[in-house]
Amino acid sequence: MNDYFDIDLYYGGLKVSIKSSYFRLIERPSFVVYGKKGCFVKGTKDRQEEHLKLFYMPDNEDFGLDTIKHYGVLTYIVEEGTVHEEKLKSVNGDYGRVYDDLYEAIIHGKDKTITDEQTLLQMEILETGVKGLK
């Protein structure tokens, strides 16, 4: 079984690295973003998936919401040169919107939020990433 991947994507001067490994003793942070004057680290995954695995459904008012221990940490240098660190509340996600959007596109002919071109590009990136593994 392939356990690890490491992909670098370049968008002009922006480099995006995506890494994954299933069999790890300690999980990697879900998101790490580095800038010239600081970084943002979000250690935990989106809670919607965690809640669904526990059969805690979207009809619960607090479904998918992060508690403070799940917040990301923004660390940056302020103008005086001191380091500032703060926890940032996560934006609430909603996987259900993807399916609602798909329903509206199929049944009512509305424009899709995620375009066919975006879907095909994602498939191409994934296929290119696994080509060398065969």
Q: How far apart are the first and last CA of the chain?
A: 12
From 118, 63, 56, 122, select the one nearest 94 (Cα to Cα).
Answer: 63
pLDDT tops 90 at residue 6: no
Report pLDDT for 85.
95
Q: To 5 degrees, how large is the angle CA 87–CA 90–CA 93?
A: 170
**Every domain of the chain and the residues it spans:** 95-134
pLDDT in tens, 42-89: 988 889 988 999 999 999 999 999 999 999 999 999 988 899 999 999
